[in-house]
Amino acid sequence: MPSSWGKIFRISTFGESHGPSVGVVIDGVPAGIPLELSEIQKDLDRRRPGQSEITTPRDEADEVRVLSGVFEDKTIGSPIALVVDNKNTISKDYDNLKDVFRPSHADYTYQEKYGFRAHVGGGRSSVRETIARVAAAGLARRILERDLGIRTVAWVDSIGEIDSNISENSYPKSREEVDVNPVRCPDKETASKMERLILDLRNEGDSVGGIIKAVVYNLPPGLGDPVYDKLDGDLAKAILSIPACKGFELGSGFSGTRLFGSNHNDEFYIDDEKRVRTRTNHSGGLQGGITNGMELVIKAAFKPTSTIKKEQKTVNSLNEETTLKARGRHDPCVLPRAVPIIEAAINLVLIDAYFYQRALQPEWYEKWVLNRETRR
């Protein structure tokens, strides 16, 4: 269903940017998992608006509450409902948008789809929906870490024309390494250039796009399923469903198309700890859509924020041409806040692949969870 995700760890999200609340119901959570709301709150805080000077001034605490599924701080096997109320909504900012379609927003498409449109805020197309995923993924992350030691780390790799200098050898290993600056680019020098650009664009009323890169460490081999549930397909869908995302790459991505097979193939070898590894990782951690034990490496492209304060030509619902100059509060660059959203998207894909795998291949579960000794 359009607002649901997952085969087993199944989330159903709800809420519009200017309605009473946004939230998620998670069905398919094992009983007995410690649920510390403060952990989930921490994840939400990384995506909340108003966390730094370079994000939207819409200041929301985004405090999460539990409506069900938890008893004495542990999951009980029932659906878990998590809710965040919308507090700082200023609907009158949208009065002038009632009949006008903002360029590159979903106003026109919603109008045509539903024959009807809630003109305050972006409704369901708003990035506020991602609160629901980040909250649900907070629980997923915990389970993945506890059972398998999996760790997902994303960062801002480029903004506009400003590229970072982070190579395979210098990928950040933890979210702490990423959160050292408000841009969430662990290359310090580049980060300050990016920050300056974003602040300049805010002043000009303009916006900019960029690229986020993400790595998943410590994945066991065997996760993901042929054919339509290949991990790459599920990751691509999870990421393209984030507002403003326009592209996805796994491993070598588009640049790999220019190589010959003899350069691109990832040769296997046995490492010192007797594990199967590949010398290169053009595959980005997946072969046939299934993890091979190498790091999962993906890239996501974000377009410039559609809301700008410059005057633009557009049309209205009476089929007339008109112009528009946006009010409202928006991020000139969504990338820094998209970092935790990308991580959430990835973790939601991984938890589901993991639960499906243990449903069907319990020997794998015995090997990688019950009996694993030291893992990477």
Contacting range for a second copy; rule: CB under 8 A; set: 53-61, 98-106, 168-176, 182-190: 98-106
Instruction: Give the residue, chosen from 90, 98, 114, 372, that forms a contact with a second copy under the rule CB under 8 A.
Output: 114
The count of chain residues that interact with a second copy, using the rule CB under 8 A, is: 165
Contact flag: residue 16 with a second copy (CB under 8 A): yes
Q: How far apart are CA 310 and CA 295, in angstroms?
A: 42
Determine the longest span between alpha carbons in the chain, in angstroms: 70
Contacting range for a second copy; rule: CB under 8 A; set: 43-51, 164-172, 183-191, 223-231: 223-231
Rg (CA), the chain: 21
Minimum Å gap between C-beta 87 and a second copy is 14
Instruction: Give the residue, chosen from 257, 272, 373, 374, that forms a contact with a second copy under the rule CB under 8 A.
Output: 257
Contact flag: residue 307 with a second copy (CB under 8 A): yes
Q: Is the CB of 30 or the CB of 174 nearer to a second copy?
A: 30
Q: How far apart are CA 113 and CA 365, in angstroms?
A: 44
Indicate the residue type of 104: S
All residues at 6 or more sequence positions from 80 whose CB lies less than 8 Å from its CB, including other chains: 25, 26, 29, 35, 66, 68, 69, 70, 139
Contact flag: residue 37 with a second copy (CB under 8 A): no
Nearest C-alpha neighbor of 96 from the set 333, 332, 311, 334: 311
Helix (H, G, I), strand (E, B) or coil at 123: helix
Q: Is the CB of 173 or the CB of 375 nearer to a second copy?
A: 375
Q: Are the C-beta atoms of 221 and 290 separated by less than 8 Å?
A: yes
Contact flag: residue 144 with a second copy (CB under 8 A): no
Q: Is the CB of 109 or the CB of 170 nearer to a second copy?
A: 109
Contacting range for a second copy; rule: CB under 8 A; set: 41-49, 55-63, 171-179, 217-225: 217-225
Contact flag: residue 258 with a second copy (CB under 8 A): yes
Binding mask 47-86 for a second copy (x = CB under 8 A): ------------------xxxxxxxx-x-xxxxxx-x---
Q: Is the CB of 126 or the CB of 152 nearer to a second copy?
A: 126
Nearest C-alpha neighbor of 298 from the set 253, 264, 261, 241: 253
Which whole-number Å values give the CA distances from 80 to 27, 33, 131, 267, 346, in the listed order? 7, 12, 15, 44, 20
Instruction: Give the residue, chosen from 229, 327, 328, 329, that forms a contact with a second copy under the rule CB under 8 A.
Output: 229
Minimum Å gap between C-beta 169 and a second copy is 22
Contact flag: residue 218 with a second copy (CB under 8 A): no
Instruction: Give the residue, chosen from 92, 165, 167, 227, that forms a contact with a second copy under the rule CB under 8 A.
Output: 227
Point out which residues pair with 213 in neighbouring strands. Answer: 155, 299
> Angle at CA 272, nearest 5°, toward 266 and 278?
5
Q: Is the CB of 29 or the CB of 350 nearer to a second copy?
A: 29
Contact flag: residue 247 with a second copy (CB under 8 A): yes
- Half-sphere CA count of 224, side-chain side, radius 13 A: 25
All residues at 6 or more sequence positions from 161 whose CB lies less than 8 Å from its CB, including other chains: none
